[in-house]
Amino acid sequence: MQNRDYVNTDDGVRLFYEKVGDGPRVLVVLNGYYLIDDFKYLASDRTVVFLDLRNRGRSDYITDNSKLTRGIQQDVDDLDAVRQVLRVSSIDLLAHSYAGFVAFLYAKKYPASANRIVAIGPMQPNLSKQYPPELQNNDATLQNFFLSARQLETERASLEPKEFCRRFWSILTRIYVADPAHAKRIHWDRCDLETELNGMKYWMKHLIPSMQSLALTAADFSGAHHPILIVHGRKDRSAPYGGGRDWTAMLPNARLLTIDGAAHAPWIEFPEAVLEPIHTFLNGTFPDSAKDVG
pLDDT tens figures, 63-89: 999 999 999 999 999 999 999 999 999
Instruction: Give the pLDDT of residue 37.
Output: 95
Q: Give per-residue burial for 228-260: e unless 16+ CB within 10 Å, then b.
A: bbbbbbbbbbbbbbbbbbbbbebbeebbbbbbe
In a domain, 175, yes or no: no
Instruction: Give the pLDDT of residue 44.
Output: 92
In a domain, 170, yes or no: no
How many residues are recorded in the chain? 294
For residue 75, what are the contacts with CB-CB under 8 A and spacing of at least 6? 30, 53, 54, 99, 102
Separation between Cα atoms, residue 74 and residue 257, nearest integer Å: 29
Region 30-41: mean pLDDT is 96
Separation between Cα atoms, residue 60 and residue 65, nearest integer Å: 13
Print the domain residue range for 116. 2-136+190-282
pLDDT digits (tens, 9 = 90+) for 158-213: 999 999 999 999 999 999 999 989 999 999 999 999 999 999 999 999 999 999 99
pLDDT digits (tens, 9 = 90+) for 44-53: 999 999 999 9
* Coil, strand or helix at 256: strand
For residue 64, what are the contacts with CB-CB under 8 A and spacing of at least 6? none
DSSP 75-101: HHHHHHHHHHHHT-S-EEEEEETTHHH
Instruction: Give the pLDDT of residue 159.
Output: 95
In a domain, 268, yes or no: yes
Q: Across the strands, what pairs with 92?
A: 27
Separation between Cα atoms, residue 196 and residue 61, nearest integer Å: 9
In a domain, 26, yes or no: yes
In a domain, 149, yes or no: no
Q: What is the pTM of this model?
A: 0.96
- Picking from 259, 262, 282, 258, the residue whose alpha carbon sits closest to that of residue 41 is 282
Amino acid sitting at position 65? N
In a domain, 129, yes or no: yes
CB 5 within 8 A of CB 17: yes
Separation between Cα atoms, residue 137 and residue 132, nearest integer Å: 9
In a domain, 195, yes or no: yes
- Picking from 148, 225, 227, the residue whose alpha carbon sits closest to that of residue 183 is 148
> How many structural domains comprise the chain?
1
68: domain CATH number?
3.40.50.1820
Q: Please report which confidence band the pLDDT of residue 2 belongs to, taking 50, 70 and 90 as the band edges.
A: low
Region 35-50: mean pLDDT is 96
CB 152 within 8 A of CB 168: yes
In a domain, 6, yes or no: yes
For residue 86, what are the contacts with CB-CB under 8 A and spacing of at least 6? 26, 49
Q: Across the strands, what pairs with 27?
A: 48, 92
Does the structure show a pLDDT above 60 at 1? Answer: no
What is the average pLDDT score of the chain? Answer: 95
* Coil, strand or helix at 230: strand
